[in-house]
Amino acid sequence: MRSGSQVTVGQIEQARAVVAVATVQNRYSLNDRGSADVLEYCTHHGIGFIPWAPVDAGEPARTGGPVDRIATTHHAAPSQVARAWLPTRSQIVRPIPGTSKVAHLEENLAAATLRLSDAESDELTAAA
């Protein structure tokens, strides 16, 4: 697939007719849920889902917005909250945020331990 393309449910079904599909990698974040149908399909069929651009929080991260408020509550960065929200969508989500800086790597690792409450997750889900 060319860069920026998204895998569709139909393409996964075509591939599964020939091979076992272990994971799918599509753009998915608080700010971009265009692959929600693919995430749902992967969840139902036990296929891992690896979101790219996973910490894009968009409008919900504005000052005073839900990401900002929740980040303040948890003493975390907004990107950590955006990353922590992803596994609340499905247990098969495995975000791999990229970075070229050690500080961002450390921030990403710390985000893996951030646990959002159900109310926080619901608020973020409803925000975008």
- Domains in the chain (CATH in brackets) are 9-127 (3.20.20.100)
Angstrom distance (rounded) from CA 64 to CA 97: 24
Pick the range with the lowest mean pLDDT from 1-10, 38-47, 65-74, 82-91: 1-10
pTM for this one? 0.85
Phi (first) and psi of residue 26, to 5 degrees? -135, 160
Measured between its terminal Cα atoms, the distance across the chain in Å is 28
Neighbours of 115 (CB within 10 A): 10
CB within 8 A of 109, min separation 6: which ones?
none
Model confidence pLDDT, tens digit, residues 89-107: 999 998 877 778 888 888 8
Q: List residues bridging with 93 in a β-sheet.
A: 49
